Amino acid sequence: MVMTSSPRPPHVGGRPGPTGGTIALGGEPARGYLLDNARAEAGERFVWLAELFDGVTRGHFDRLGVRAGSRCWEVGAGGRSIPEALAAAVGPTGHVLATDIDPSWLEAGDGYEVRRHDVAADPPPEPGTFDLVHARLVLVHVPDRARALANMAAALRPGGWLLVEDADTALQPLACLDDSGPAQRRANRLRDAVRELLTRRGADLRYGRTLPRALREAGLVDVAAAGSFPVGGPACDRLEAATIRHVRGELLTAGLADDAEIDAHLAAIHAGELDLTLAPLISAWGRRPAEHPSALG
């Protein structure tokens, strides 16, 4: 775990990134997080993920009692919107720690602390102290997600809440629910291709549905969950365009799509004719037992 004050990348669209590819130097298959934060498209994705899901996430924060003075750990924060929302909620008497394997898009000094931290490989920061630990759309990408969950649970104070939100792409795999023409069918084929890339990197596309059980197995109590997903609209379109541009090189290298298909898909998105949707976001929460803190080891 390393303290960081790394500068943010240039603003969205300000920096061309590498083209990517499934075969890294030396012929080894590429590993690690597919939609890495080094590219400008990652910053675009954070904007649209915030637009689509921050309302849901903030509703859970309110319900779980985040308030002035709370101590919160935002895991795999990505962009700034959730750390900023938590910092506003906890105020100067609270504490917000935002971590990520690549915290380049976070701004230290905005009312929250920033650290570079791998939730699976590094020990939990400040164990046994947080009122709320939250991760959204992170664990699905982490191959050792059981270890990551155990680290997050160990960071909770007795009685503190863990909120984990992850997509279940296998539950609803379509990009276009209304499969009405060739553009919609192409969108669905390309969504399958992106899911294939994610699977090759160790993502578990059925993880969302397992969250309630995973939280109970991590020793948490009062576990419950809910699901939601948007069905069409400009934020879905822009998220899809940024995602496709992000992984274009990998799709081509893997032979999962060709240039003509990708260009036609981007044009159809731009024309606003697809009514693109997403996989359900499963939000699950559970509390560290107040009277038996040793249950978490």
| Smaller CB separation from ligand SAM, 102 or 273 | 102
The contact mask relative to ligand SAM for 132-151 (x = CB under 6 A, - = no) is ----xxx--xx---------
| 235 SS3 class | helix
Q: How far is the CB of 289 from ligand SAM (least distance, A)?
A: 26
Q: Residue 263: which H helix or E strand, with range?
A: helix 259-271
Residues 6+ apart with CB under 8 A from 193: 251, 254, 256, 257
| Smaller CB separation from ligand SAM, 268 or 284 | 284
Q: Give the residue, chosen from 40, 98, 101, 175, that forms a contact with ligand SAM under the rule CB under 6 A.
A: 101
261 counts as binding ligand SAM under rule CB under 6 A: no
Instruction: Name the residue whose CB lies closest to ligand SAM.
Output: 78
Q: Give the residue, chosen from 34, 40, 52, 77, that forms a contact with ligand SAM under the rule CB under 6 A.
A: 77
| Smaller CB separation from ligand SAM, 75 or 268 | 75
| Smaller CB separation from ligand SAM, 164 or 269 | 164
49 counts as binding ligand SAM under rule CB under 6 A: yes
Q: How far is the CB of 142 from ligand SAM (least distance, A)?
A: 5
Q: Which stretch binds ligand SAM (CB under 6 A): 3-11, 115-123, 169-177, 192-200?
A: 115-123
Q: What is the largest CA-CA distance in the chain?
A: 60
Q: Which two tokens stand for residue 284?
A: 């699950």
Q: Which two tokens stand for residue 37?
A: 């934060």
Q: How far apart are CA 186 and CA 198, in angstroms?
A: 19
Which residue bears the tokens 């759309």? 137
**CA-based nearest residue to 197, from 35, 17, 28, 16:** 35
**CA-based nearest residue to 244, from 179, 210, 197:** 197
Q: How far is the CB of 279 from ligand SAM (least distance, A)?
A: 12
Q: How far apart are CA 191 and CA 217, in angstroms?
A: 32
**How far apart, in Å, are the Cα atoms of 138 and each of 10, 18, 66, 144, 258?**
23, 23, 21, 11, 29
Q: Give the residue, chosen from 47, 120, 171, 177, that forms a contact with ligand SAM under the rule CB under 6 A.
A: 120
Q: How far is the CB of 158 from ligand SAM (least distance, A)?
A: 25
Q: Which residues bind ligand SAM (CB under 6 A)?
A: 33, 35, 37, 46, 49, 76-79, 100-102, 118-120, 136-138, 141-142
